[in-house]
Amino acid sequence: MESVYAVKDGNVFEACLGRSALKWDAFWHLFEWLLTPEEGHGLGPSIQLRLIEFAFGTSEATCVVKREFPVSGQMDGKGKWVDLALGIPTLVSPTHLIIMDDVGVAHAGDMRKLKNLTEYMSLSKQSHPNAQLRTVVVTNAPNGAKLASAVYKALGEEALEYAALTGWRLLSLHTIGSWVKESAINRQESLSIKTKYILEDFVEWCQ
Protein backbone atom coordinates (compact mmCIF):
# COMPACT_ATOMS: atom_id res chain seq x y z
CA MET A 1 0.00 0.00 0.00
CA GLU A 2 1.43 3.35 -1.02
CA SER A 3 2.46 5.50 1.94
CA VAL A 4 -0.20 8.03 2.94
CA TYR A 5 2.32 10.45 4.39
CA ALA A 6 5.90 10.89 3.27
CA VAL A 7 7.05 11.60 6.82
CA LYS A 8 5.61 10.09 10.03
CA ASP A 9 6.49 10.73 13.65
CA GLY A 10 6.79 7.09 14.70
CA ASN A 11 4.27 4.28 14.66
CA VAL A 12 1.17 4.67 16.82
CA PHE A 13 0.91 0.90 17.40
CA GLU A 14 4.54 0.67 18.41
CA ALA A 15 3.74 3.23 21.11
CA CYS A 16 0.46 1.62 22.24
CA LEU A 17 1.22 -2.10 21.90
CA GLY A 18 5.00 -2.26 22.20
CA ARG A 19 7.02 -4.80 20.27
CA SER A 20 9.59 -6.86 22.18
CA ALA A 21 7.43 -6.59 25.34
CA LEU A 22 4.12 -6.81 23.53
CA LYS A 23 0.97 -5.71 25.38
CA TRP A 24 -1.28 -8.60 24.42
CA ASP A 25 -4.35 -7.31 26.27
CA ALA A 26 -4.29 -4.17 24.13
CA PHE A 27 -3.76 -6.27 21.01
CA TRP A 28 -6.93 -8.31 21.65
CA HIS A 29 -9.00 -5.12 21.94
CA LEU A 30 -7.61 -4.06 18.57
CA PHE A 31 -8.13 -7.44 16.93
CA GLU A 32 -11.75 -7.56 18.11
CA TRP A 33 -12.18 -4.14 16.45
CA LEU A 34 -10.77 -5.47 13.17
CA LEU A 35 -13.05 -8.53 13.34
CA THR A 36 -16.19 -6.41 13.79
CA PRO A 37 -17.53 -5.37 10.34
CA GLU A 38 -19.50 -2.40 11.66
CA GLU A 39 -16.48 -0.68 13.23
CA GLY A 40 -14.80 2.35 11.68
CA HIS A 41 -11.81 0.58 10.10
CA GLY A 42 -13.66 0.50 6.78
CA LEU A 43 -12.64 -3.09 5.97
CA GLY A 44 -16.09 -4.58 6.45
CA PRO A 45 -16.11 -8.33 7.22
CA SER A 46 -12.87 -9.01 5.31
CA ILE A 47 -10.60 -9.74 8.30
CA GLN A 48 -13.30 -11.87 9.91
CA LEU A 49 -13.60 -13.88 6.70
CA ARG A 50 -9.84 -14.31 6.38
CA LEU A 51 -9.67 -15.70 9.91
CA ILE A 52 -12.45 -18.19 9.18
CA GLU A 53 -10.74 -19.22 5.95
CA PHE A 54 -7.45 -19.64 7.83
CA ALA A 55 -9.08 -21.90 10.40
CA PHE A 56 -11.54 -23.90 8.31
CA GLY A 57 -10.72 -23.30 4.64
CA THR A 58 -14.09 -21.70 3.96
CA SER A 59 -15.69 -18.27 4.20
CA GLU A 60 -18.83 -17.79 6.26
CA ALA A 61 -20.35 -14.40 7.04
CA THR A 62 -22.79 -15.43 9.77
CA CYS A 63 -20.87 -15.52 13.03
CA VAL A 64 -20.51 -13.99 16.48
CA VAL A 65 -17.24 -12.62 17.88
CA LYS A 66 -16.62 -12.08 21.59
CA ARG A 67 -13.50 -11.02 23.45
CA GLU A 68 -12.90 -12.70 26.84
CA PHE A 69 -15.17 -15.69 26.32
CA PRO A 70 -15.79 -18.15 29.22
CA VAL A 71 -15.05 -21.60 27.80
CA SER A 72 -15.68 -23.13 31.23
CA GLY A 73 -19.17 -21.62 31.35
CA GLN A 74 -18.46 -19.79 34.61
CA MET A 75 -19.35 -16.11 34.57
CA ASP A 76 -17.97 -15.17 38.00
CA GLY A 77 -14.43 -14.51 36.75
CA LYS A 78 -13.07 -17.72 38.30
CA GLY A 79 -13.40 -20.02 35.32
CA LYS A 80 -11.35 -20.37 32.14
CA TRP A 81 -11.60 -17.51 29.66
CA VAL A 82 -10.05 -17.34 26.19
CA ASP A 83 -8.91 -14.00 24.82
CA LEU A 84 -11.33 -14.17 21.91
CA ALA A 85 -13.88 -16.57 20.44
CA LEU A 86 -15.72 -16.73 17.13
CA GLY A 87 -18.75 -18.98 16.71
CA ILE A 88 -20.54 -19.92 13.49
CA PRO A 89 -23.42 -19.15 13.45
CA THR A 90 -23.44 -18.41 17.20
CA LEU A 91 -21.32 -19.04 20.28
CA VAL A 92 -24.22 -20.80 21.99
CA SER A 93 -24.75 -23.51 19.36
CA PRO A 94 -21.81 -23.35 16.96
CA THR A 95 -21.19 -25.64 14.03
CA HIS A 96 -17.69 -24.14 13.89
CA LEU A 97 -15.83 -22.60 16.81
CA ILE A 98 -12.57 -20.65 16.94
CA ILE A 99 -10.99 -19.97 20.32
CA MET A 100 -7.94 -17.72 20.46
CA ASP A 101 -5.02 -16.97 22.76
CA ASP A 102 -1.47 -15.70 22.38
CA VAL A 103 1.95 -17.23 22.79
CA GLY A 104 4.73 -14.67 22.56
CA VAL A 105 8.24 -15.68 21.55
CA ALA A 106 9.68 -14.60 24.90
CA HIS A 107 7.35 -16.90 26.86
CA ALA A 108 6.71 -19.75 24.40
CA GLY A 109 7.81 -22.34 26.95
CA ASP A 110 5.60 -21.03 29.76
CA MET A 111 4.01 -24.25 31.06
CA ARG A 112 1.17 -22.41 32.79
CA LYS A 113 0.20 -20.80 29.48
CA LEU A 114 0.43 -24.12 27.64
CA LYS A 115 -1.61 -25.90 30.31
CA ASN A 116 -4.30 -23.26 29.96
CA LEU A 117 -4.37 -23.73 26.19
CA THR A 118 -4.89 -27.48 26.49
CA GLU A 119 -7.67 -26.88 29.04
CA TYR A 120 -9.35 -24.35 26.74
CA MET A 121 -9.38 -26.91 23.96
CA SER A 122 -10.72 -29.68 26.20
CA LEU A 123 -13.45 -27.55 27.77
CA SER A 124 -14.58 -26.22 24.40
CA LYS A 125 -14.82 -29.73 23.00
CA GLN A 126 -16.82 -30.89 26.03
CA SER A 127 -19.25 -28.00 25.64
CA HIS A 128 -19.64 -28.38 21.87
CA PRO A 129 -18.79 -31.99 20.93
CA ASN A 130 -20.35 -31.72 17.46
CA ALA A 131 -18.67 -28.46 16.47
CA GLN A 132 -15.55 -28.24 14.35
CA LEU A 133 -13.03 -26.63 16.70
CA ARG A 134 -9.88 -24.63 16.06
CA THR A 135 -7.63 -23.14 18.69
CA VAL A 136 -5.82 -20.29 16.93
CA VAL A 137 -2.66 -19.18 18.70
CA VAL A 138 -1.42 -15.71 17.76
CA THR A 139 2.33 -15.16 17.98
CA ASN A 140 4.88 -12.44 17.34
CA ALA A 141 7.31 -15.06 16.03
CA PRO A 142 8.55 -14.48 12.45
CA ASN A 143 6.22 -15.71 9.76
CA GLY A 144 6.65 -19.45 9.19
CA ALA A 145 8.81 -19.94 12.28
CA LYS A 146 8.17 -22.68 14.81
CA LEU A 147 7.88 -21.96 18.50
CA ALA A 148 9.67 -23.68 21.37
CA SER A 149 9.38 -27.48 21.31
CA ALA A 150 7.36 -27.35 24.55
CA VAL A 151 4.45 -25.84 22.59
CA TYR A 152 4.23 -28.82 20.23
CA LYS A 153 4.75 -31.28 23.07
CA ALA A 154 1.74 -29.79 24.85
CA LEU A 155 -0.55 -29.13 21.86
CA GLY A 156 0.65 -31.60 19.25
CA GLU A 157 1.30 -30.73 15.61
CA GLU A 158 -0.78 -28.11 13.88
CA ALA A 159 -4.04 -29.14 12.19
CA LEU A 160 -3.14 -28.24 8.61
CA GLU A 161 -5.98 -30.29 7.14
CA TYR A 162 -9.19 -28.28 7.13
CA ALA A 163 -11.29 -31.44 7.48
CA ALA A 164 -9.87 -32.20 10.95
CA LEU A 165 -12.63 -31.95 13.56
CA THR A 166 -10.36 -30.58 16.29
CA GLY A 167 -6.95 -28.95 16.18
CA TRP A 168 -4.88 -25.84 16.54
CA ARG A 169 -3.17 -23.36 14.20
CA LEU A 170 -0.37 -20.86 14.71
CA LEU A 171 -1.20 -17.39 13.37
CA SER A 172 1.58 -14.83 13.09
CA LEU A 173 1.13 -11.09 13.43
CA HIS A 174 2.82 -10.86 10.04
CA THR A 175 -0.03 -12.85 8.48
CA ILE A 176 -2.68 -10.69 10.16
CA GLY A 177 -0.87 -7.62 8.82
CA SER A 178 -0.93 -9.07 5.30
CA TRP A 179 -4.72 -9.55 5.58
CA VAL A 180 -5.18 -5.92 6.60
CA LYS A 181 -2.85 -4.68 3.86
CA GLU A 182 -4.67 -6.61 1.13
CA SER A 183 -8.10 -5.57 2.41
CA ALA A 184 -7.07 -1.91 2.61
CA ILE A 185 -5.73 -1.99 -0.95
CA ASN A 186 -9.01 -3.49 -2.18
CA ARG A 187 -10.98 -0.73 -0.44
CA GLN A 188 -8.60 2.21 -0.76
CA GLU A 189 -11.05 4.34 -2.75
CA SER A 190 -13.59 4.26 0.08
CA LEU A 191 -11.17 4.74 2.99
CA SER A 192 -10.48 8.14 4.51
CA ILE A 193 -6.93 9.48 4.68
CA LYS A 194 -6.98 9.08 8.46
CA THR A 195 -8.12 5.45 8.23
CA LYS A 196 -5.46 4.66 5.63
CA TYR A 197 -2.84 6.14 7.90
CA ILE A 198 -4.01 4.04 10.87
CA LEU A 199 -4.15 0.81 8.85
CA GLU A 200 -0.78 1.47 7.28
CA ASP A 201 0.75 1.91 10.74
CA PHE A 202 -0.80 -1.38 11.85
CA VAL A 203 0.56 -3.24 8.82
CA GLU A 204 4.00 -1.77 9.45
CA TRP A 205 3.86 -2.76 13.13
CA CYS A 206 2.92 -6.35 12.23
CA GLN A 207 6.09 -6.79 10.20
Residue 118 has pLDDT above 70, yes or no: yes
Start-to-end CA distance of the chain, whole Å, equals: 14
pLDDT of residue 74: 65
* Position 207 pLDDT exceeds 60: yes
8-state DSSP, 144: T
Does the pLDDT of residue 2 top 90, yes or no?
Answer: no
**How many Cβ atoms are within 10 Å of 77's Cβ, its own excluded?**
8
Which residue in 99, 207, 183, 114 sits closest to 155, CA to CA? 114
For residues 86-107, give the mean pLDDT: 93
> Which pLDDT tens digit goes with each residue over 45-58?
999 999 999 999 99
Q: How many residues does the chain have?
A: 207
Instruction: Give, in degrees to the nearest 5, the angle at Cα 199 between 197 and 201.
Output: 70
Q: Coil, helix or strand for 189?
A: coil
Confidence of residue 1 (pLDDT cuts 50, 70, 90): very low
pTM of the shown model: 0.90
Q: Is 112 helix (H, G, I), strand (E, B) or coil?
A: helix
